[in-house]
Structure 1
């Protein structure tokens, strides 16, 4: 089941287990049960602190639970956690086996203090890069608090459940049988939803902080680079981000990050955060900026957040990045997460054997269609323009696939559904003006990005596309406020460019601080 290299790595991790526990498998006569049993036997052979039972009675088969000897933990995997979830399996083995988690002491105590009965179920897909964060967070919570139970379920393996519960997007989390949340969530965000007073307490703490020399708004590549370069100057640096990692978290394959032949977005995002934490940087996560109040005549700049918190700083670096652009047609919002999706890698396996559409003929749209064609029954790709805009090598691959139809000069006008899920799409032929309907189960929107600048209107200068206008030094129309990354007018939205722009903005902010102090002294 595991290759030699993976076995060697896993063996090293298993040496960190300090307390005994048993793995209880619930199996049937199917091939997947045999695969799971082979994996569990290999794991059991790597540590004398792990025992394996094959007499589990869980209704979901194949599945297995991890139970500490003399402990009270309810943690179960329904399916075979390979792919992106293999890391979740390794962490679960270590944490149930007594290895200390990486979460902060504050979060750990918050989880332990939760009262009530919390039975979580998370539906994931093995190709979803967003799912491990949720699975790992809930697994850790189940290890820390006996009131919390968690089952991680491979949606592709338990299709009947997916259909019954109308799970159309992963990760999808249920709490005590009711929908709890969709999409990437870290442990802090989950705890905040359960501990309703946490957000208020955190906002009060944030508002009491002293003013920063440099405050970075955004935690993507540009924000991370800004924070590192500012902190290296020895000045008071803070980062407030809606989610650390930003759009990189939703990126699957990265093959143009110089010096790294290939990596994945979540891995890069984790490395960025770890690098920032190596410095004296105050990181404030899950903070969505809502209002900028520029300081006048050298006064402090202020940023207000959705949480109610407020922060002040001598200089700012705005690096709020971008988000998926929406089609803005009837049905898109109504069926978001119920057939309308934006991540083919995450949600593609849920549409196995079904008909889907991809809107967008650029690189991301064509890549999505190619990926989906290997999973679903049929893909219809719709492009508004008269021709595809993707690289020729991608177009050549796309046209070689027998289960893909390409429609150009096609304007999507509506996404339809039966009230609970998507059942079709309507488009207009821009040449003839005729409308056509396509019957399908899912729509993947891949039409680019839009900058996160709604909260800045009326303050810094924005382009007609909503991007922050910056000069060669990264400075905005307001002295002391800088910007970097995909949120700006800088061309070519690339990770490596965002990193450089973030570094430049921080250096410019530091230069501004020096010059301002000299002017003040004079």
Structure 2
């Protein structure tokens, strides 16, 4: 039989767990669904030093603390890879590869994923010199030579951020010019700490048994293979929203991000979205938590309005 809830939260990262906390605290019957362990990308982060209340904390430890805080109010947690969400009047059905669940309110907290280069060494050295977030990890590379792979706005903006702490930042780009907006390009070329390698096809991230030591790339003009010696590699070749199960709901923009207002409401009544699954500038634990509190409270208000009707 299909299991019934008041609120189903798809995704148990920091935003999803916060939404569960607020909704369950309002005495709602809440389900958190995730295809993996609760905590999301925090579980892949060695140390977090920019979340208020902790000078530094291990990612899995923070995930556990958030989960235990939410569990105090007794939401359910189930594993499942969501295949679809369907709407029938006020009722939504969430179908996973294992089970189906129904609720009047659904909160989408599936997040986004960084596009991968797909080269040898990228996965092996993730968390050991390979990063996708300068704001998260720049402090761990203070005084190092760093490579930034990419040439768009994000790559250059993050390069500026890294240059505050790094010895040098070398932008490795596969084309002969940047794709970033002209103002950013002008600032980048004027920054003494920023260098550029053009027409460079990244082939491998190399390192020793402990961490990254360099980037192997091919000069697309000469065919010559070279190694750039660096202590860290930051990859910015785009992000992908995890929204495939929601494509038919009419709540996505042209790039696949969920569209919401400031109350985290989508265009479908009773469906909310939060965190990195929304189009936004800054993707951090702190603003995912903020979104989660708004969405959790919003779900409560939505259900109250339904009951009045």
TM-score range, shorter chain: 0.7 to 0.9
**Gap change, CA 1:380 and 1:365, over 3 Å in 2:** farther
* Alignment partner, residue 502 of structure 1: 292
**Residue of structure 2 in register with 1:310 after alignment:** 100
Matched-pair contact (CA < 8 Å) for 2:168–2:194:
no
> TM-score, normalising length from structure 2?
0.74
Alpha-carbon spacing, 1:384–1:425, altered in 2? closer, same or farther (3 Å)? same
Change (3 A) 1:372 1:310: farther
The residue aligned with 2:141 is: 370
Q: Secondary structure at the match of 1:486?
A: helix
User: What's the CA shift for 1:438?
Assistant: 2.5
Distance 1:364 1:426, change over 3 A: farther
1:382 and 1:407 in contact (8 A); partners too: no
User: Closer, same or farther in 2 for the Cα pair 1:238/1:366, shift >3 Å?
Assistant: closer
Q: Which runs of 5+ in 1 are unaligned?
A: 1-207, 349-357, 374-378, 418-422
Structure 2 equivalent of residue 289 of structure 1: 82
- Deviation of 1:457 after TM superposition, in Å, equals 1.7
RMSD of Structure 2 on Structure 1 (CA): 3.6
Structure-to-structure mapping, 1:323-362, within 5 angstroms: 323-327=113-117, 332=118, 335=120, 339-341=121-123, 344-346=126-128
1:234-249 to 2 correspondence within 5 Å? 234-242=27-35, 243-249=37-43
CA distance in 2, matches of 1:460, 1:372: 47
Question: Which runs of 5 or more structure 2 residues have no equivalent in the other structure?
Answer: 170-192, 206-213
Cα offsets for 1:401-450 (capped at 9, x unmatched): 9xxx9752545535269xxxxx9744557xxx665523589995632643
Aligned counterpart in structure 2 of residue 477 of structure 1, from 246, 267, 292: 267
- SS for the counterpart of 2:157 is coil
Matches within 5 A, 1:450-489: 450-489=240-279
Q: How far did residue 265 of structure 1 move?
A: 1.3
**Is residue 395 from structure 1 mapped to residue 163 from structure 2 by the alignment?**
yes
Aligned 8 A contact 1:304 1:311 in 2: yes
Would the alpha carbon gap of residues 410 and 326 (structure 1) be closer, same or farther in structure 2, given more than 3 Å must change?
farther
1:238 Cα shift?
0.7
Could you tell me whether the CA contact under 8 Å between 1:359 and 1:381 is conserved in 2?
A: no
Alignment of 1:201-280 (within 5 A): 208-242=1-35, 243-280=37-74
Q: In 2, distance between residues paired with 1:365 and 1:494?
A: 8
**Partners of 2:289 and 2:204 in 1: CA distance:** 41
Cα pair distance change 1:359/1:496, threshold 3 Å: closer
Whether the 8 Å contact between 2:2 and 2:99 is mirrored in structure 1 is no
Deviation at 1:513, TM superposition (A): 1.1
Q: TM-score, normalised by structure 1?
A: 0.46
Displacement after TM superposition at 1:316 (Å)? 0.2
CA distance in 2 between partners of 1:231 and 1:359 (Å): 34
| Aligned-residue offset at 1:517 | 2.0
Q: How many residues align?
A: 273
User: Structure 1 residues 445, 303: CA separation in 2 closer, same or farther (over 3 Å shift)?
Assistant: farther
Bigger radius of gyration = 1
Q: Any conservation in 1 of the 2:10–2:33 contact (CA below 8 Å)?
A: yes
- 1:437 corresponds to which of 225, 231, 256: 225
8 Å Cα contact 2:134-2:234 kept in structure 1: no
1:516 matched to 2:306? The reply is yes
Are the counterparts in 1 of residues 42 and 60 from structure 2 also a CA contact under 8 Å? yes
